Amino acid sequence: MLYLVGLGLADEKDITVKGLEIVKKAERVYLEAYTAILLVEKEQLEAYYGRSVEIADREMVESSSDTILADADKVDVAFLVVGDPFGATTHTDLILRARELGIPTQAVPNASIMTGIGCTGLQLYNFGQTISMVFFTDNWRPSSWYEKIVENANIGLHTLVLLDIKVKEPNLEMLARGKIRYEPPRYMTVAQCAQQMIEIEEEKGLGVCAKDALAVGVARVGAQDQNIVAGTLEQLAEADLGRPLHSLVLIGKNTHDLERDYLRAFAVDQKVFDEAWAKNHGSQ
């Protein structure tokens, strides 16, 4: 059997009992480590699970999946995924490859940022399409996500923004010389995301993510040092939420009083928050 085991959001103890039992009995254990990260090192997982864990980077999962699936029709293989296997990042491709080889599969769900974002007090059924924000470069500033925010805004829904991570990314200059050298890991912050949203708003001009748009940034959801900061995008562009991982929610107009009251406690400046809320959502 190939098991896709969700690990939850924070540390080694977020795994479910069912997931832990699978990990302990599996012949091989892989940790997917390029779409998200846990807040602890691999060695801490290994100590808690009592098992060695092999890192499965993008290259292995996308190009060498045969290594992961080898003999999985005869022995149990556990593929560990931060969050939920079918949450913000799906692994249906690995499941489909297993099916082609006649390998049985089973997924073990867990919390993901898609549900963990409820820590902000925003009601999950008031969320629209989720978008991803990548690092801008000097000559690449993708903005296809903007249209999705417009669609969400038109029906008053919140937008969850998942922020870019760069893990084991090859240095393009060295690659052009025929050498492989990897860049240091990079993780987008709430401040970087807010600034990029403001920049694209200045180009598009539809008003959905202007400087005074209300948003909430989160960091390390589910951890002891979880951090939540609410304010305008301009305020969040100056906010420091600490170490990764970060996410951001652009707040829609279809809101409930309870959402406002819950968020207000995390405001950078409660007076500014109240004024922005009244402007964007009505005085309520």
What are the residue ranges spanned by the domains of the chain? 2-111, 114-282
Residue 36: what pLDDT? Answer: 78
Residue 284: what pLDDT? Answer: 43
Cα–Cα distance, 29 to 52 (Å, whole number): 7
List the 227-232 sheet strands across, edge first. 131-133, 159-163, 246-250, 214-219, 227-232
- pLDDT tens for residues 153-175? 999 999 999 999 887 666 666 66
Cα–Cα distance, 223 to 35 (Å, whole number): 19
pTM for the full predicted model: 0.91
Cα–Cα distance, 213 to 237 (Å, whole number): 12
pLDDT in tens, the chain (284 residues): 999 999 999 999 999 999 999 999 999 999 987 777 888 889 999 999 999 999 887 777 777 788 999 999 999 999 999 999 988 667 888 899 999 999 999 999 999 999 999 999 999 999 999 999 999 988 999 999 999 999 999 999 999 999 998 876 666 666 666 777 777 788 999 999 999 999 999 999 999 999 999 999 999 999 999 999 999 999 999 999 999 999 999 999 989 899 999 999 999 999 999 999 998 876 44
Is residue 53 within 8 Å of residue 30, measured between CB atoms? yes
Residue 70: what pLDDT? Answer: 94
**CATH code given to domain 114-282:** 3.30.950.10
Does residue 34 sit in helix, strand or coil? coil
CATH superfamily placement of domain 2-111: Tetrapyrrole methylase, N-terminal domain (3.40.1010.10)
Name the binding residues for S-adenosyl-L-methionine.
Answer: 9, 84, 87, 112-113, 163, 221, 246
Count of C-beta atoms within a 10 Å radius of residue 207: 12
Surface-to-core class of residue 83, CB atoms within 10 Å of its CB (0-12 exposed, 13-18 middle, 19+ buried): buried
Name the binding residues.
Answer: 9, 84, 87, 112-113, 163, 221, 246
> Helix crossing, 270-281 with 257-264: angle to 10°?
160
